[in-house]
Chains A and B, each alone.
Chain A
Amino acid sequence: MRAFTYNLLLTIFWLAVTEVFTLGNFLVGFALSFLILLLARPLFDEASRRYFTLFWKLPRFALLMLWEIVLSSLRVAQAVFSPRMKIQPGIIAYPLEVKSDLEITLLANLITLTPGTLSLDVSHDRKVLYVHGMFVDDPQAVARSIHESLEKAVLEVTR
């Protein structure tokens, strides 16, 4: 967080010095001060340094999210238009590894946006997420695929 504050501060200085208060100039200043802070990276402690890796991890996470939406919509389209709908719906209990509210929210949203799964509710002690699946032939396999592709991605951006 501290690195982000410095970044904003430097950007405000940039805006004041150049005297052009537009979105474009804000972005230029932000990019420039980010590069400057990148040079000063060794001066930051471990926690603040996470800011720099987040900078390329966040866009990758957003792309993953968009890609999953496209895939899942195609899967739904395929299921909807097949003459005999071959679906095997089921509700499974998914044991959560993520802990904080933000992580659970992100994971639940991602699960809803991925092919064939929809998060229904989280248990009161935050240990289990109940997930409705459209193609549940093997509950264990569904849980494994959620863990492999989604939970790891969430953990990567939040920790």
Chain B
Amino acid sequence: MLDWLVYLLVSGGVFFLFVAAVGVVRMPDLYNRMHATSKAGTLGVGLILLAVAVFYQELSVAARALSGLAFIILTAPVAAHALGRAAYLSGVKPSEETYVDELAGHYRVNHQLESPRPSEKP
């Protein structure tokens, strides 16, 4: 019975990692690619870690698997933020389909980011 739960969790995890990989290939620009890696990647790794915890059924293994899961949930968005910011600062252009870019022109030369000027407020 528990074996089936493990199979389910592992195949779910592999599926979402596959989604992340295909997303990296198919998405039009860096920012959209990051959507694929930060979300589907997190869930994929998380499901596999859960499967490990269920499979071994030991407190020490489960504790490590769960703390790994917690750290991935905490750090994946930070990595995505750091990558996106670095890409924007080094001039990676969003794809042509990009609908609005309210960030454009708000970085000062010293990389300080300002809020929109009052005249721009929607």
- List chain A positions with a Cβ less than 8 A from chain B: 23, 65, 69-70, 72-73, 75-77, 79-81, 85, 87-93, 108-109, 111-113, 115-116, 118-125, 127-128, 130, 132, 134, 136-137, 139-140
Q: Are A109 and B74 in contact (CB under 8 A)?
A: yes
Partner of A109, one of B22, B27, B46, B78: B78
Question: Which chain A residues lie closer than 8 Å to B26 at the CB level?
Answer: 80, 85
Cβ-defined contact, A92 with B31, below 8 A: no
**A-facing residues in B77-96 (Cβ within 8 Å):** 77-78, 80-81, 84-85, 88, 94-95
> B97-115 toward A: CB 8 Å interface, digit per residue (1/0)?
1111111101000001111
CB-contact partner of A88 in B22, B43, B97, under 8 A: B97
Q: Chain B's interface: helix, strand, loop or mixed, by majority?
A: helix
In the bound complex, how far is the Cα of B22 from the Cα of A65, in angstroms?
A: 24
Q: List 19 A-B contacts (CB under 8 A).
A: A69-B73, A76-B20, A77-B16, A77-B19, A80-B23, A85-B26, A90-B100, A93-B106, A109-B78, A112-B39, A113-B76, A113-B77, A119-B81, A120-B103, A121-B84, A127-B115, A130-B103, A132-B34, A139-B100
A72-B115 in contact (CB<8A): no
Contact B122 A140 (CB under 8 A): yes
A77 to chain B, nearest CB (A): 4
Whole-angstrom distance from the CB of A38 to the nearest CB of chain B? 26
In the bound assembly, the distance between CA atoms of A109 and B70 in angstroms comes to 12
Residues of A within 8 A of B29 (CB): 89
Kindly state the separation between the CA atoms of A80 and B78 in the bound complex, as whole angstroms: 23
Q: Which 9 A-B residue pairs are closest in the complex by CB-CB distance?
A: A112-B77, A90-B99, A73-B43, A93-B102, A90-B100, A109-B77, A128-B115, A80-B23, A77-B19
Docked pose: A23 CA to B59 CA in angstroms: 9
Contact status of A89 and B113, CB under 8 A, knowing A69-B43, A139-B100: no
List, in ascending order, chain A residues with CB within 8 A of B113's CB: 121-124, 130
Query: Given A109-B78, A112-B76, A76 and B39 touching (CB < 8 A)?
Result: yes
A132 and B16 in contact, given A72-B39, A90-B98 (Cβ under 8 angstroms):
no
| Complex contact A89–B115 (CB within 8 A) | no
State the Cβ distance, B120 to closest chain A Cβ, in Å: 8
A70 to B39, CA, bound (A): 8
